[in-house]
Amino acid sequence: MWAKLGLTMQDQLLLTVRKIPRGKVATYGHVAAAAGHPGRARQVAWALRAGAGTGVPWHRVVGSGGLIKLRGESAMEQRFRLEMEGVRFHGKRIDMKTHECKFGRARRRKARSR
DNA sequence: TCCGTGACGCGAT
DNA sequence: CATCGCGCCACGG
């Protein structure tokens, strides 16, 4: 259906990321699943890079377990931004128990056409 | 078209 | 907790 709307998977993923409310975070895997692409966590990361600078709340996407998967300064910026929104860290990981964003039931894709 | 490269995830070691 | 291997996939060379 998204595809029918002329949206690429990248747009679908980015759109899902935009839904993450302030003070909440979602994992790459969950974003992919919520967008209807279970198992495409990698593409989420790719989409995020591609959509950088387009106003996407990229900092709200973290790795499973609430771990920041960026490196170097980007990682610090992400952590800083999250803390700014009130996200609490337990050492190196985020308290997913209270900050993980729950998406509505992901719509299923009929098939991974190719 | 084949191949290496990742902001990934998960189970096994 | 740190690594490795494997599955997954869009992209660029």
What pLDDT, in 10s, does the model give residues A36-63?
A: 999 999 999 999 999 999 999 999 999 9
Domains of chain A and CATH, by start:
3-99 (1.10.10.10)
Nucleotides of C under 7 A from a protein CB: 7-11
Rounded distance in angstroms from the CA atom of residue A60 to the C1' atom of nucleotide C10: 22
Rounded distance in angstroms from the CA atom of residue A92 to the C1' atom of nucleotide C2: 15
Q: Which nucleotide is nearest to A8 (CA to C1')?
A: C10
Rounded distance between C-alpha atoms, residue A50 and residue A92, angstroms: 26
Rounded distance between C-alpha atoms, residue A65 and residue A15, angstroms: 23
Residue A23 near residue A60, CB atoms below 8 Å: no
Neighbours of A40 (CB within 10 A): 22
pTM for the predicted model, two decimal places: 0.89
Quick check: A44 CB within 7 A of strand B?
A: yes
